[in-house]
Amino acid sequence: MRGRTLARGAAICATWTQLTSAISLDITSQASIKSAASTVAYGMMKYYTGNNTGDNPGNLPSPYYWWEAGATFGTMVEYWYYTNDTSYNPTVTAAILSQVGTDDDFMPTNQTKTEGNDDQGFWGMTAMSAAEMNYPNPSADEPQWLALAQAVFNEMVTRWDDSTCGGGLRWQIFTFNNGYTYKNSIANGCFFNLGARLARYTGNQTYADWAEKTWDWMESVGLMSDTYIVYDGTSDTTNCSTVDHLQFTYNQGIYLFGAAMMYNYTYADWAEKTWDWMESVGLMSDTYIVYDGTSDTTNCSTVDHLQFTYNQGIYLFGAAMMYNYAAAAQCDGGTDGTTCGEHWTDNSTYDGNYGLGQQMSALSVIQAMLIDEAPELVTNTTGGTSVGNANAGSGSTTSSTTGTVITPATGADKAGAGILTALVLSGVLGGIGFMVMGS
How does the average pLDDT of the chain come out, rounded? Answer: 78
Does residue 411 contact residue 116 with C-beta atoms inside 8 Å?
no
State how beta strands 182-184 and 25-26 pair.
unpaired
Among 167-176, 211-220, 239-248, 391-400, which is the least confidently predicted range?
391-400
pLDDT of residue 14: 28
Among 29-43, 165-179, 273-287, which is the least confidently predicted range?
273-287
Q: Residue 277 — pLDDT band, cuts 50, 70, 90?
A: low
pLDDT of residue 130: 97
pLDDT of residue 37: 95
pLDDT of residue 280: 61
Does residue 288 contact residue 12 with C-beta atoms inside 8 Å?
yes
pLDDT of residue 395: 53
Q: Just give the CATH number of 18-384+400-437.
A: 1.50.10.20
Span 302-350, pLDDT tens digits: 444 434 433 333 344 434 444 566 778 888 888 888 999 887 766 667 8
Instruction: Over range 14-29, report the average pLDDT.
Output: 60
pLDDT of residue 361: 85
Percent residues over pLDDT 70 in the chain: 71
Instruction: Over range 7-32, report the average pLDDT.
Output: 56
Instruction: Over range 419-436, report the average pLDDT.
Output: 35
Instruction: Over range 66-81, report the average pLDDT.
Output: 93
Among 32-36, 133-137, 208-212, 327-331, which is the least confidently predicted range?
327-331
pLDDT of residue 341: 87
Q: Residue 259 — pLDDT band, cuts 50, 70, 90?
A: confident
pLDDT of residue 278: 61
Instruction: Over range 208-213, report the average pLDDT.
Output: 96
Please check the confidence at residue 19 and state whether its pLDDT lies above 70.
no
Which pTM was predicted? Answer: 0.82
Please check the confidence at residue 414 and state whether its pLDDT lies above 80.
no
Does residue 256 contact residue 316 with C-beta atoms inside 8 Å?
yes
Alpha helices (H) in 108-204, listed in sequence order: 117-132, 145-159, 185-202
Span 98-123, pLDDT tens digits: 999 999 999 999 887 889 999 999 99
pLDDT of residue 86: 98
Check residue 19 and report its DSSP letter. Answer: E
CA distances from 213 to 93, 108, 185, 207, 208 (A): 33, 29, 14, 10, 8
pLDDT of residue 215: 95
Instruction: Over range 71-79, report the average pLDDT.
Output: 94
Spatial distance between the Cα atoms of 32 and 34, rounded to a whole number of angstroms = 5
Question: What would you measure as the largest C-alpha separation in the chain, in angstroms?
Answer: 61
Q: Residue 365 — pLDDT band, cuts 50, 70, 90?
A: confident
pLDDT of residue 56: 83
Give the residue from 389, 392, 394, 390 showing the smallest Cα distance to 173: 394
Please check the confidence at residue 281 and state whether its pLDDT lies above 60.
no
Span 223-238, pLDDT tens digits: 999 888 889 999 999 9
Q: State the Rg of the chain over Cα.
A: 20
Among 100-104, 143-147, 257-261, 403-407, which is the least confidently predicted range?
403-407
- Give the list of residues 6+ apart from residue 192 with CB closer than 8 angstroms, or none: 211, 214, 215, 218, 254, 255, 258
pLDDT of residue 268: 66
